[in-house]
Structure 1
Amino acid sequence: MLPARHFTDTRSQHQTLRSFLTNCRPATAPFNVVQRLTAGLTTLDNKLISQHKKQRRHGVERSKGLRKKQIASPVPEILQQNDNGEEVLDAVLGIEVQDPSQREPVLFFITVFHGKDLYPSPLACLPAEFDTSRQILACRYRVLRKIGEGTFSQTVCAQDLYYPGRHLVAIKIMTISYNAIGVQESKLLRYLNAKNEDSDTHIVRLLNTFVFENHFCLVFEYLGGGTISIPQNYSEQERLHILRKVACQLLTALMYLRGMGVIHADLKPENIIGLTVDSYKLKVIDFGNALSSDDVYHYYETFEIQSLLYRAPEVLLGLPFGLEIDMWSLGCLLCEYWLGHPIFRSSTADGMVRAITDVLGYLPDAPYKNGKFIIRGTLESDSELDDDKAHDIKSRKLRIARLSEILQSRNIDFINFVNDIFHYDPSERPKPVEALCHRFLAPLFPYKMLVDNYNVS
């Protein structure tokens, strides 16, 4: 063991060290050497942070921390700079641990950083050969890099040190003021994951939750494929095959959500992630806006739900809505994957309604004339303003031709599939299980097509 002179000879620091070493002892299953160290970090971190706060209250500047010349020779020089450019080390503790798998003791270094990094005051505990700038969360997850950021949270990729393989996880760190959203999301995902543990529902799996620096954190399986895209230089048949696979998986997810009475309410490309690079196996993520179909009335005042480019017309015009709004978003997603850009584009709700009617024709008076938000020139009763447009809405053939022109495809099954999903009447939109049986997806289910052709009962 390192001689006692390497540590300041004070009673409080001896107590801190003793507490740390006590907590390092494995209490359950045999841990590896890193796990034994991480098990005692919470107590040490809290005491050191408390000590620093006390020093600040007494006017002690951080620059008066341990200096380079005070560091024991076996300890590597892991230094930071304060505001004056001086090299400062907040705290370093060297511990020699006997690993049964090693002939010689292994020296580990535990460094407490209090810098201005993304996560303030984290405790890093890593073997000496690792990059000590990487941080440990919950004494278990070693942060590698940031992979996403939003209004309510930011997401990092991390290694789970509790497993020998150190597999990757994604950790969603909520902004403190939005912790309640994270808590609600975790409850919903536990409900969804627990109901179907064996089969693949294409819903992201929640692995763990914890609180870090008052931030609620959710630990998910790591999906390394990124957002889905279909290369525009592929042939039409190749692109259609990929689109069928994507549509089938998304419909499977929506079928499961519908069975559970859950509306995702935020389907968009950023929330559809591939499992691996160059793979079109995917999962639906981000259930922060999801809600039960019984709770939709909470949005009947503002109707602020769904991302604007993927918002259903009944939401845009302020009508009661339900599970069907996810099917509309699915139609927008599939068209965007096909085109490489959103099919309906505007920066305002009024503009979105006009963009939709420019493609699909006037909205029917029933039920849209009873909407909370009436937009002049978008209903059938306004048809005298544009005779050509009124004629288009009455003719399915002209609507199909318009979609075929915009989507730049002559595959009639694909156009009919999209047209059915974009039905203005929510009750007429196909349910996910019905859409899975559409002729467009038949090449993925050859047996189903054979049964239909021969009318086997």
Structure 2
Amino acid sequence: MAEKKYFTVPSGQDLQVLRGSRLSSRSSDYIVEDLVGNGAFAKVAKCVKSATKEMVALRVVKIHTKSDLQREHEILLKLRYFNPDECNFVKWHCSFMYKRHLCQEFELLDMSLREFVTMRPTRSLHLKEIETILYQLATTLEVLKRLQVAHSDLKLENIMLVDHVRQPLRVKVIDFGSACNASNTAHGAYIQTRWYRAPETILGLPCSEAIDMWSLGCIAAELFLGHPLYPGSCEYQMLQFMIQTQGQLPGYFLSAGLKTSLFYWRTWINMWTFKKPHEYGTVPFPYNNCMIGSLDGLKEIHQRPDRHLSKTEAVVDEADLENFVELVKQMLHLDSTKRITPSQVREHPFMTQRKLIAKEDESNTVHTQPQETRNATFALTT
């Protein structure tokens, strides 16, 4: 997959991927059974691989540059040094060119986390379920951090359940099309989906792998609330919501941003005043509002109690909420250099307290999650 083999697909020459279509590589044909995803840059089809008769996911890239495709390919090659089942990212099999389109074969997964929570009446999950998912995602982010890679588009749609019936809450991260080497990310680059976009991305500061931790914090809050934490309709409103829940961003932080002057007036050295809506310009009327006044307001969200919990576990549930909110606050630290790291997430009391209490509870009638999901060996050797 050398760079010279990649081509930018001209506009208007989008490859039609329909049920019954046949796409071919040198080693196999792929018969499309269904189109399961269609985004701005790629579409994903559920296919039968003729050579092996197995079901796979085939990602067909629409319009991209050679350098972007090469960058993604290099990151996928780096990930091959790690076990995708233990590190919770989608398994990549191969790539090939078909009619000037890059096609990538991946393992077939079940449904996105977005689809899964939509099936819930409240569109939210219990803290025990959130703990299970966050632990797995922190494991993935630890791998990426060691590779100095930022996924750059972590959101519910890019987190897939492996099999929501046979392996409840077992998840994997997908779509590395926006992934990049964190040290090479251009200042002010347009990355991350808006609702999960870190403040340093909005303001045009140097970005690191910490932008993914910000996204993970937004995901954690959304899974708990049942709706996005910061549902801004533009970047100005995103900053409004951040200020509402966490206070003003540090002056030294604002002074380093290439785009800070779009949203703030500079009043003195390292002193900035957030622009009023009419000073900023046209601000779309918010179709959603930030529903809490501060991150501590998450503690006021009461989930339905589980009648099957023992007294010990009920106490753990109460402590879990405190620990969960503290974890979210550390994930969403406005200063990226002070944001919690993936390894610290895995050792946070929100992850460890329930396990410790369970050992003391002789009845041990409720298990928080499948052993193979929660305690999978984390291999980081190459």
TM-score of the pair, normalised by structure 2? 0.71
Q: Which amino acid in 2 is paired with 1:282?
A: V
**Number of residue pairs aligned between Structure 1 and Structure 2:** 303
Alignment of 1:430 onto 2:340 = yes
Percent of pairs with identical residues: 26
Q: Say if 1:152 and 1:178, in contact at 8 Å, map to a contact too.
A: no
Q: Helix, strand or coil: the match of 1:434?
A: helix
Correspondent of 1:143 among 28, 32, 40: 32
Q: Give the distance between the partners of 2:231 and 2:54, measured in 1 at CA.
A: 40
Q: Please give the secondary structure, in 1, of the residue aligned with 2:248.
A: coil
Is residue 201–residue 253 contact of structure 1 (8 Å, CA) maintained in 2?
yes
- Residue 344 of structure 1 is matched in structure 2 by 230
Gap change, CA 1:245 and 1:444, over 3 Å in 2: farther
Distance change >3 Å, CA 135–CA 437, structure 1 → 2 = same
- Whose RCO is larger (CA < 8 A, sep 6+)? 2
Partner of 2:284: none
2: distance between equivalents of 1:257 and 1:263? 6
CA contact (8 A) 1:251 1:432 kept: yes
- Rounded to whole Å, the distance in 2 between the matches of 1:270 and 1:358 is 27
Q: Aligned partners of 2:71 and 2:256: how far apart in 1?
A: 33
> 2:264: which partner in 1?
376
Q: Secondary structure at the match of 1:204?
A: coil
SS at match of 2:87: coil
For the pair 1:211 / 2:97, whether they are aligned, the reply is yes
SS, match of residue 159 in structure 1: strand
- Going from structure 1 to structure 2, the CA distance change for 1:117 and 1:358 (only over 3 Å counts) comes to closer
- 2:369 alignment partner in structure 1: none
| Native 8 Å contact 2:71 2:180 kept in 1 | no
Unaligned runs of 5+ in 2: 1-13, 277-292, 304-317, 361-382
Question: Residue 44 of structure 2 aligns to a residue in which SS?
Answer: strand
Match of 1:255 in 2: 142
**Aligned residues of 1:155 and 1:171 also touching (Cα < 8 A):** yes
Q: Are residue 118 (structure 1) and residue 16 (structure 2) matched?
A: yes
C-alpha contact 1:185 1:287 (8 A) present in aligned 2: yes
Residue correspondence of structure 1 range 64-213 to structure 2 within 5 A: 118-119=16-17, 133-138=20-25, 139-163=28-52, 166-178=53-65, 181-193=68-80, 195-197=81-83, 200-213=86-99
Could you tell me which residue of structure 2 aligns to residue 404 of structure 1?
299
Rounded to whole Å, the distance in 2 between the matches of 1:187 and 1:235 is 36
8 Å CA contact retained: 1:182, 1:217: no
Secondary structure in 1 aligned to 2:103?
A: strand
Per the TM alignment, residue 290 of structure 1 is displaced from its structure 2 partner at its CA by: 0.6
Q: 2:223 aligns to what SS in structure 1? A: helix
Give the letter aligned to residue 376 of structure 1.
Y
1:408: Cα distance to partner? 4.9
Q: State which structure, 1 or 2, has the greater radius of gyration over its C-alpha atoms.
A: 1
User: Secondary structure of 2:190's match?
Assistant: coil
Matches within 5 A, 1:277-292: 277-278=164-165, 279-292=168-181
* Cα distance change on mapping 1:287 and 1:168 into 2, 3 Å: same
Rounded to whole Å, the distance in 2 between the matches of 1:445 and 1:369 is: 43
Q: CA RMSD in A?
A: 3.1
- CA distance in 2 between partners of 1:417 and 1:380 (Å): 29
2:349 paired with 1:439: yes
After superposition, the Cα gap between the structure-2 partners of 1:178 and 1:227, relative to the gap in structure 1 and judged at 3 Å, is farther
Give the match's secondary structure for 1:281.
strand
Amino acid at match of 2:344: E
Equivalent-residue separation in structure 2 for 1:283 and 1:243 (angstroms): 14
Distance in 1 (alpha carbons) for counterparts of 2:358 and 2:143: 21
